[in-house]
Amino acid sequence: MEIETQSYITNLLKTNPKIVENNLNYNDKKFNKKKEYYQLKEHIDTFLEKESDDRFFIMPGLRGVGKTTIIYQLFSYLLNEKQIPKNRILYLNLENLKDVPNFNIKEYIDVFLKDVNEAYPTVKNQVFIFVDESQYSKNWASLGKIIFDEDKNVFMIFTGSDALNLEYNNDSARRSLKKEIYPLNFAEYLYLKYDINYPDMLSETFRDMIFTGKVKESQKIENRMYNQNLINLNQNYLKEWEYYIQYGCFPFTLNRTEESIVQLTLDMKDRIIEKDLDIITSFTTPIRLATYKLINIIAMSKPSELSSNKLSNILNISKTSIQSIFQALEKTHLLFHVEPYGSCVKRQRKSWEYYFLTSQIKASIYIKNGLATQNPKEYIANLSENLVAASLFKLQQNRDFGIFYDPEKGGVDFLLNTIMGDIIPIEVGIGAKNTKQVKKAISRYNSDYGIIVSNRSSRIQKEDNIISIPISTFSFM
């Protein structure tokens, strides 16, 4: 077994540079880089200068969000720009090894460190270990902790599905830094596809507007952004946005046809059910089959229309099984939930509402079932509500606030509860711009202002205590 492992690692070190370069361009044009690449590159540079001890990173995220491409780009940077010899850079994809009998990641890393790089007792030169699909190893976190503690010349990145979070124990958490990778927002999509670059402060300024109610700076940036879009985009800007929410939320879609995007998105969704759920829990065949159906039902229904009782009756499985499926799907980050606003009793009594982490998955299921063209306005409205929910969920990972839905009859779509206890009502509307619901929510929750996100405003506006934000602008957050 040891000889086979040595042979495998030796072959990887020879072939990885070519594989990496072949996957970093399309039609001889290099792929643009996501912001996470530059963040990790900065950490690599300080590591090479021996100015930082940040050398153990965890990079979880949904399948298809571009984690492997980021790793390839860092590999290429080290090899071609920093002139690091290829025997000091290991890229190991565990999906290729998961079926090896008695597979143990430690054996492969040991060969790289101790045999290839002659570590005794520690590595002499700085080396880099990039492990992809790490969720297929049960002991990746403990191994990373051991290497971190024993050798200061090793820089590590472990990537994989959100099932990685299950292995993110206290010991590894104290030593590592986590960078969750999310689907593309509209700004990232336009940059990766059309090379349209936006200032770093753009998203942050829009986010500050949500929590402060101040619109002046956001209006200035939006005007510059809008003019830049008109100059750089050959086609209608809003048509491009409609394409984005259906087909452009994952980097793998940028050079593909709409038909292939839908199929690849559905394949990715199925792989999450078939592979990632196995790491999280053990479902019986009937429960696994019900999981496919449940996801379809959620995609083609309004979040407010579903309850555990209703789903239990439709799928003919227990409420307990429904809740177990939801818990598992949330751990993969395919879905997330929004609870009703109110007391703990009300939050337990009322059903939770579920959204996809990206509107593209919802759109692909709609399209596959032939429902996207039946009522186009309702279709785009449902995708827009999911987009706003997902944007708020991602924003919540870096800011302290709560996201709830309004349980009152005729209530707004979302209520943000800030760390100071303020409530910000948000309504998502496609079509007629109605302020009635937001005004009621402002009065009910004693809010300073409310927000309408819609396609009826072409620019950010504030009238009295109501802020109107175009849905395309909101998509930059």
Question: What is the pLDDT, as a whole number, of residue 447?
Answer: 97
pLDDT confidence tier of residue 416, bands split at 50, 70 and 90: very high
pLDDT confidence tier of residue 285, bands split at 50, 70 and 90: confident
pLDDT confidence tier of residue 167, bands split at 50, 70 and 90: low
pLDDT confidence tier of residue 161, bands split at 50, 70 and 90: confident
pLDDT confidence tier of residue 139, bands split at 50, 70 and 90: confident
- Chain-centre distance for alpha carbon 219: 27
**Could you report the per-residue pLDDT of 331-366, keeping only the tens digit for each?**
888 999 999 998 776 666 788 999 999 999 999 999
Mean pLDDT within 215-238: 81
Question: What is the pLDDT, as a whole number, of residue 164?
Answer: 65
Concatenating the DSSP letter of every residue in 104-139 gives -HHHHHHIIIIIIS--SSS-SS-EEEEEESGGG-TT
Question: What is the pLDDT, as a whole number, of residue 100?
Answer: 87
pLDDT confidence tier of residue 432, bands split at 50, 70 and 90: low
pLDDT confidence tier of residue 235, bands split at 50, 70 and 90: low
CB 163 within 8 A of CB 126: no
- Statement: residue 187 has pLDDT above 80: yes
Question: What is the pLDDT, as a whole number, of residue 433?
Answer: 64
The region of weakest confidence among 156-170, 321-335, 362-376 is 156-170
Question: What is the pLDDT, as a whole number, of residue 434?
Answer: 74
pLDDT confidence tier of residue 38, bands split at 50, 70 and 90: very high
- Statement: residue 305 has pLDDT above 90: no
The region of weakest confidence among 81-85, 348-352, 463-467 is 348-352
Is the sign of the CA dihedral 160, 165, 171, 175 positive or negative? positive
CATH of 2-178, one of 3.40.50.300, 2.60.40.10, 3.40.1010.10, 3.40.50.20: 3.40.50.300
Question: What is the pLDDT, as a whole number, of residue 234?
Answer: 62
Q: How far apart, in whole angstroms, are the C-alpha atoms of residue 311 and residue 286?
A: 15
Question: What is the pLDDT, as a whole number, of residue 105?
Answer: 92
pLDDT confidence tier of residue 398, bands split at 50, 70 and 90: confident
Percent share of the chain, pLDDT over 90: 62
List Cα–Cα distances, 245 to 168, 184, 273, 336, 387, in angstroms. Answer: 32, 10, 23, 18, 8
Count of C-beta atoms within a 10 Å radius of residue 322:
22
pLDDT confidence tier of residue 112, bands split at 50, 70 and 90: very high
Q: According to DSSP H, which parts of 272-413 are helical?
A: 277-280, 285-299, 308-315, 319-332, 344-349, 359-368, 376-396
Which pair of structure tokens corresponds to residue 259? 């038909």
Residue type, 342: G
Question: What is the pLDDT, as a whole number, of residue 1?
Answer: 57
Sketch the domain layout of the chain as residue ranges. 2-178, 187-474
Q: How far apart, in whole angstroms, are the C-alpha atoms of residue 248 and residue 454?
A: 20
Q: How far apart, in whole angstroms, are the C-alpha atoms of residue 128 and residue 337?
A: 37
Count of C-beta atoms within a 10 Å radius of residue 85:
12
The region of weakest confidence among 28-37, 271-280, 307-316 is 271-280
Question: What is the pLDDT, as a whole number, of residue 201?
Answer: 82
Question: What is the pLDDT, as a whole number, of residue 250?
Answer: 96
Average pLDDT taken over every residue of the chain: 90
DSSP letter assigned to residue 301: S
Question: What is the pLDDT, as a whole number, of residue 282?
Answer: 80
- Statement: residue 78 has pLDDT above 90: yes
- Statement: residue 168 has pLDDT above 60: no
Mean pLDDT within 154-167: 79
The region of weakest confidence among 167-171, 172-176, 359-363 is 167-171
The residues facing 160 across adjacent strands are: 60
Question: What is the pLDDT, as a whole number, of residue 228?
Answer: 73
Mean pLDDT within 316-338: 91
- Statement: residue 197 has pLDDT above 90: no
Q: How far apart, in whole angstroms, are the C-alpha atoms of residue 167 and residue 173?
A: 10
Q: How far apart, in whole angstroms, are the C-alpha atoms of residue 129 and residue 156?
A: 5
- Statement: residue 233 has pLDDT above 80: no
Q: Which residue has the higher pLDDT, 416 or 166?
A: 416
- Statement: residue 165 has pLDDT above 80: no
Q: How far apart, in whole angstroms, are the C-alpha atoms of residue 184 and residue 133?
A: 20
Closest of 95, 88, 116 to residue 7, by C-alpha: 116
**Could you report the per-residue pLDDT of 364-375, keeping only the tens digit for each?**
999 999 888 888
The residues facing 429 across adjacent strands are: 454
Which pair of structure tokens corresponds to residue 262? 């839908």
Q: Which of 196-205, 220-229, 285-294, 417-426 has the highest mean pLDDT?
A: 417-426
